[in-house]
Amino acid sequence: MTSFKINTESVDFDGDPGTPLLWVIRDHLNLTGTKYGCGIGQCGSCIVHVDGRAAVSCVMPVSGVDGRSITTIEGLAATQAEPHPVQQAWLELDVPQCGFCQPGQIMATVDFLKRHPRPTDEDIDKNITNLCRCGTYVRIRKAIHRAAELMAAGEGT
Amino acid sequence: MSARVHDITLNRRQFLIVGSSVAGGLVLGLPAIGADHGDSERMIGYFIEIASDGSVVIGSNQPELGQGVRTALPMLVAEELDVEWSKVSVRQMPLGIVKTADGYTWKYGGQGVGGSTGLTSNWDYMRQIGATARQQLIRAAAERLGVRAHQCTTRPGVVTCGSLGTEIPYGDLVADAAQLDVPDEAPPLKDIDDYRIIGTQQKTIDALDMVTGRTRFGIDTVEPDMRYAVIARAPVLNARVKSFDDNDARKIDGVLDVFTIEGPEPGAPYTILASGVAVVADSTWAAMKGRDALQIQWHESANATDSSEKFWRENEAALETTGQVVLDDGDFDTAMASAVKVVEGRYRVPFVSHAPLEPQNCYAYVQEDRCHIIAPTQMPSGASRAAAAVTGIPREHIHVDMTRVGGGFGRRLTNDYVAEAAMISKQTGWPIKLLWSREDDIRNDFYRPGGLHELRAGVDADGKVVAWTQRLASGSKYYRRPNMPDENLWQAELYPDDFPKGLVDNLRLEYFHNTIGLPRGSWRAPAHTANAFVIQSFLDELAHASGQDPLQLRLDMLGDERELPYNGHGGPTFNPGRLSRLIRFVADRIDYGVERPAGRGVGLATHFTFGGYAAHAIEVTVSDDGRLGIERIVAAIDCGLAVHPNAVRAQLEGGTIDGLSTALGLEITVRDGKVQQSNFHDYPLARIAAIPAAFETHILPYDDVPTGVGEIVLPSAAPALANAIFAASGKRIRNLPIGDQLAA
Ligand code: FES
Ligand code: FES
């Protein structure tokens, strides 16, 4: 039995403890915002937060999150009416094309901004490695800077 | 649905009705002929629903892959309906087909996106729907006020009657409007100067769902009692299952069934790609583990000796012979013999995979007499055909729902994964969701064809190009198409009316087919990606070799605006002057004429694709040890009228990046009949670090008719990059991908 918290809910999973966290989230918990894109930790579509840090869930056995706390894209915003500042920036810049990579991009960015609250382009190049097949990188870069601004302004108030 | 129904002819195949919705709103759209799914399905079939509170729901009939059509088409409707865009929401419509005496016809207009036609083919249709609804509201108001309809007009959401000074909101009119017959004559459409929504900056209508994870892609489908399926696929091209041992697989908790899936005869047209072994389980992970535990023996395949080395060797050898001459303008041999300078180059364009980020998947539930498909597809009618072919169920009993699609790029024009899902559901009787792993996707694709191109041109004493030939040895996209004679295989790879047709008097195109067993298909802008790369690279070589400036040579050849006949997709005309305008523009923006230091350079390219025009200017640095940096990108498009400019810019960004990413590092190779790449570690899409912040997009307006966009933006990106690399380093890229060719 693996027990963990996901977006404020407590969960017990009694299936194969080797099941990647991604498939527990998608198939068993029916939270489908976290995506499968490669299954080998290359694309970042499956990024969630484990105890607040970004992690690729496709290569993490569910047993590894026993007792830990997970946030998925569905649990990022405090309320539906008020998206997280990173989501707001994504909306302002109208980033998504097909949209498939975007939950992972957003989850990666939220964690990244914790450690780089005023990132340079170089910081972004080094740390944001999620794939976007549609090529939304131009807007992602702008949205990351914009999110940093929104978050800095939010802290000031 | 209590509607008085009256049909009008919108065009030869389509009919409109008005009616009232259950809640008393106005519904305008197409009758759900033979509807046997009850009222909810009928509702989905409608194009416009105006509620009494004035809010509007518009149906989008096309698949949305990220190209913005789900926003752009409703913009057309809302424009003519004359409502505030903020009042509009959009509903994805399912596939609608109706059985006729001699086949099937569309219920909601043609559905399917490929060839950048999503907007152009719906341009008139969607506007007419909006204008017709507006006219109904005006007539209802006029009747109520006792005036003639032409005395009334509208402002957003409101009918106004000037002479009486009266205004009536749409919401108050819907009940009356729903009772009025629709006149036979279509109402006039707005003038371009009166547009308030078309051509304005709007955001993606369902972006909030996408950034909060609420959007359901095909892969996110969950239906009652659904099982999960994967397929073990042949490691060698076209190998068939001989036998398998599923003892270990069936021991895995959750595995429910294991069986063979039959593929097409080798060499026959594709139904699915090839045979395999399906594993059905109660979760994705159990299905994948079950698949790993299978022991499969495969028959020897006739393609077991296929390899990329052999493919390129054969192509080199073919070019030493004479191929099929598919275009022979003027007197090529004499002109070439008279040239004072002849320039020649051979270029390799590799096979590449589509790799949309959402892997192939499909939900299917096949019952006795009906079938339900939920799929990410570019061609829902093809999905219906594929499911009908494997189940024997008539197409009118196959219901196809389209989800938002996690990228298409041409891959999802082919519905092989729908056929597979239907086979598995039929065999088990269960509703199932089939998932391809990323490895399945990269190793089993309808790849963009690879080919070896030989370009040769002769110039006269004034530097004018007097003779030009392109000779191509490639694996045609039309390989294994039904009813495709060998002598037509070239048609998928060489577009004879492309540049420089009509611009060089003596012109010859020659084709040689290579029968390598790799499947091939349409990859965003199909043959334009290869041909633009080789032609725009070669023009640069030609300019340098004949002492001319690469921009000036292009301008000299393209000339001013005039219409040349163009018989291929994107015709009927090609206006080379529109390319001149674009390339001049991007050259200006990037300060083309300004001398750069060694190791830094600018490259240009421009291309006409499927009716639209684009150009790129790219600035790069190449260090002494061969490190490439893309420093600045200027991309411009002339797509006639940009209906949804925000999406046009998004496509310019994305299409450019697609072109660059592919040129930088992507290639599918084969050894011993096996595809060598399998996932993003060895099929390395570009990441954000490769794409500079200095990236400008420009839309150059032209006339009042939109062309497509999604493919037009791509072909000129890669040659602009290659030309920039030459300008910076003196190194000419003749083989794609660029890979580590620049390393000293
Ligand atoms: S699916 Fe986990 S990184 Fe790609
Ligand atoms: S938006 Fe399509 S993969 Fe990123």
Looking up tokens 């697609």 gives B658
Residue B674: strand, helix, or coil: strand
B359, closest residue in chain A (CA to CA): A37
B389 CA to chain A: closest CA distance, Å? 30
Q: What average pLDDT does the structure give for chain A?
A: 96
Beta-carbon separation of A91 and B208 below 8 A: yes
User: How far is it, in rounded angstroms, from Cα B653 to Cα B717?
Assistant: 10
Does any CB of chain B come closer than 8 Å to the CB of residue A125?
Answer: yes
- Considering all CA atoms of chain B, what is the largest pairwise distance in Å, rounded to the nearest integer? 84
Residue B280: strand, helix, or coil: strand
pTM of the model: 0.94
Does any CB of chain A come closer than 8 Å to the CB of residue B550?
Answer: no
Q: Show which of residues 354-413 on chain B sit within 8 Å of chain A, judged by CB atoms.
A: 355-359, 404-409
Does any CB of chain B come closer than 8 Å to the CB of residue A137?
Answer: yes
A67 CA to chain B: closest CA distance, Å? 22
CA of B284 to the centre of ligand 1 (A): 15
Does any CB of chain B come closer than 8 Å to the CB of residue A97?
Answer: yes
List, in sequence order, every beta strand (DSSP E) within B505-579: 506-513, 564-565, 573-574
User: What number of C-beta contacts closer than 8 Å exist between A and B?
Assistant: 186
Does any CB of chain B come closer than 8 Å to the CB of residue A136?
Answer: yes
Does any CB of chain A come closer than 8 Å to the CB of residue B210?
Answer: yes
A156 CA to chain B: closest CA distance, Å? 25
Q: Which atom of ligand 2 is nearest to the CA of A97?
A: 1
User: How far is it, in rounded angstroms, from Cα B8 to Cα B361?
Assistant: 39
Residue B52: its pLDDT value, please? 81
User: How far is it, in rounded angstroms, from Cα B344 to Cα B350?
Assistant: 20
Produce one character per residue of B690-707: b if its CB has 16 or more CB atoms within 10 Å, e if not: bbbeebbbbbbebeeebb
Tokens of B282: 């109660």
Beta-carbon separation of B407 and A98 below 8 A: yes
Calculate the dihedral angle through the C-alpha atoms of B673, B674, B676, B677, rounding to the nearest 10 degrees: 130
- What domains can you pick out in chain A, each with its CATH number? 2-75 (3.10.20.30), 85-152 (1.10.150.120)
Residue B178: its pLDDT value, please? 78
Which residues in chain B have their CB less than 8 angstroms from residue A133's CB? 355-357, 407, 409, 658, 685
CA of A98 to the centre of ligand 2 (A): 5
CA-based nearest residue to B638, from B571, B574, B707, B535: B707
Q: For residue B654, give the nearest of A35, A90, A135 by CB distance.
A: A135
Tokens of B115: 């060839």
pLDDT higher than 70, residue A71:
yes
Contacts of A144 (CB under 8 A, 6+ apart): A89, A109, A112, A113, A119, A124, A128
Q: For residue B358, give the nearest of A83, A100, A125 by CB distance.
A: A100
- ipTM confidence score: 0.97
Which residues in chain A have their CB less than 8 angstroms from residue B403's CB? none
Q: Which atom of ligand 1 is nearest to the CA of A57?
A: 2
Beta-carbon separation of B285 and A32 below 8 A: no
- What domains can you pick out in chain B, each with its CATH number? 41-208 (3.30.365.10), 223-301+360-435 (3.30.365.10), 308-352+446-729 (3.30.365.10)
CA of B741 to the centre of ligand 2 (A): 29
Pocket test for ligand 2, best of A38, A93, A102, A105 (most atoms within 8 A of CB): A102
Beta-carbon separation of B689 and A83 below 8 A: no
Residue A67: its pLDDT value, please? 97
Does any CB of chain A come closer than 8 Å to the CB of residue B680?
Answer: yes
CA-based nearest residue to B189, from B52, B85, B335, B77: B77
Does any CB of chain B come closer than 8 Å to the CB of residue A98?
Answer: yes
CA of A136 to the centre of ligand 1 (A): 18
CA-based nearest residue to B256, from B232, B285, B290: B290
Beta-carbon separation of B406 and A100 below 8 A: yes
Extract the residue ranges of chain B whose pLDDT is less than 50: 1-15, 31-45
The residue type of B620 is: V
Residue B34: its pLDDT value, please? 33
Pairing, β B628-638 against β B612-622: antiparallel
CA-based nearest residue to A95, from B658, B218, B211: B211
Ligand 1 neighbour A41 (Cβ under 6 A): yes
Under 8 Å between Cβ of B711 and B529: no
> What average pLDDT does the segment A100-107 reach?
98
Q: Which atom of ligand 2 is nearest to the CA of B356?
A: 3
Beta-carbon separation of B654 and A83 below 8 A: no
Residue A117: its pLDDT value, please? 97
Q: Show which of residues 78-97 on chain B sit within 8 Å of chain A, judged by CB atoms.
A: none
For residue B183, the 8-state DSSP code is: P
- CB-facing half-sphere around the CA of B451: CA atoms within 13 A: 31
Cα three-residue angle B309-B439-B296, rounded to 5 degrees = 90
- DSSP alpha helix (H) spans, B146-206: 170-177
Confidence at A156, pLDDT banded by 50, 70, 90: low
Ligand 1 neighbour A33 (Cβ under 6 A): no
Beta-carbon separation of A102 and B211 below 8 A: yes
Tokens of A125: 């190049």
B401 CA to chain A: closest CA distance, Å? 17
Residue B51: its pLDDT value, please? 82
Output the ligand 2 site: residues, CB below 6 A: A 96-102, 132-134, 136; B 66, 357, 407
Residue B181: its pLDDT value, please? 80
Residue A118: its pLDDT value, please? 97
Residue B108: its pLDDT value, please? 75
Which pLDDT tens digit goes with each residue over B342-380? 999 999 999 999 999 999 999 999 999 999 999 999 999
Q: Show which of residues 43-82 on chain A sit within 8 Å of chain B, judged by CB atoms.
A: 43, 45, 72-74, 76-77, 80
Q: For residue A131, give the ligand nearest its CA.
A: 2
User: How far is it, in rounded angstroms, from Cα B261 to Cα A8?
Assistant: 43
Residue B28: its pLDDT value, please? 67
Q: Show which of residues 4-43 on chain A sit within 8 Å of chain B, judged by CB atoms.
A: 15-16, 19-20, 23, 26-28, 30-40, 42-43
Looking up tokens 């998608």 gives A26
Which residues in chain B have their CB less than 8 angstroms from residue A27's CB? 228, 283-285
User: How far is it, in rounded angstroms, from Cα A102 to Cα B17?
Assistant: 39
Residue A135: its pLDDT value, please? 98
Tokens of B338: 């008279």
The residue type of B212 is: T
CA terminus-to-terminus distance, chain B: 73
- Considering all CA atoms of chain A, what is the largest pairwise distance in Å, rounded to the nearest integer? 47
Residue B391: strand, helix, or coil: helix
Beta-carbon separation of B213 and A40 below 8 A: no
Under 8 Å between Cβ of B39 and B27: no
Does any CB of chain A come closer than 8 Å to the CB of residue B253?
Answer: yes
Ligand 1 neighbour A37 (Cβ under 6 A): yes
